Amino acid sequence: MVDLKVYFHVIAKNKTESGGYLSKVRIQEQMKVLNDSFSETGITWSLANTTYTVNPEWFLYADYDIGVEKAMKSKLRQGGVADLNVYSVSFETSELSGFATFPWLYKARPLLDGVLLRYTVLPGGTRRSRGLGKTLVHEAGHWGGLLHTFEGGCDLDGDKVRDTPPTLETTDCNVDSDTCPQLRGKDPIYNYMSYSNDFCRTEFTLGQIHLLRSTLSRLRNIQF
């Protein structure tokens, strides 16, 4: 079992909840979801620090303007290659719920490493189908080296994991969904690395856990 540090950076337009100023209770609830979801992986997460920054430009445009994102992360990022930095912003200019950097990008762009998270997707958030906190679980999976279950579509080797059936992108919880019927298995709608809504995303496969641990060990110097 390894314990990884999380640095949570709240970026807000003003000091109201609707302006992105998340309460510490909401952040603690998100940390519980993160830990519950990774309980089978041998990874726990500890909140090392929480920062609050009122900056409307960062809040609105960090996901759109790389200069804004770079300025924000250069100022706020803490820790090293093995530490997860999370930045809650508005994603005003896109439909994204979150965005993560992959571990193989760290060496070239260490200051950009981390997760951007829409502030409305924490537990109790107002983002449709994304209000249970599973978005950070999904993005932390990317940060650890996991790809989408639908990577490559019906390509057998799409996400580099053998026990996730090939699938096209799906966003609902239809248990009968089978977008690659010519291949093995129905769509992995319960997988955290799918685009299913939060109500049905509940698992990582053994193959994903193996890939996650090996990638973290190799590229983030985390020893299990």
Beta strand 84-89 with 43-54: parallel, antiparallel or unpaired? unpaired
Q: Can you state the angle between helices 24-37 and 134-143, rounded to 10 degrees? A: 60
Catalytic residue among 139, 151, 169, 203: 139
Helix (H, G, I), strand (E, B) or coil at 4: strand
Active site residue 29: no
DSSP secondary structure letters along 47-104: EEEEEEEE-HHHHHHTTT-HHHHHHHHHHH--S-TT-EEEEEE--TTS--SEEE--GG
User: Cα(78)–Cα(93) distance, rounded to whole angstroms?
Assistant: 26
Q: Which residue type, as a one-letter code, is found at position 63? A: D
Catalytic site residues?
A: 139
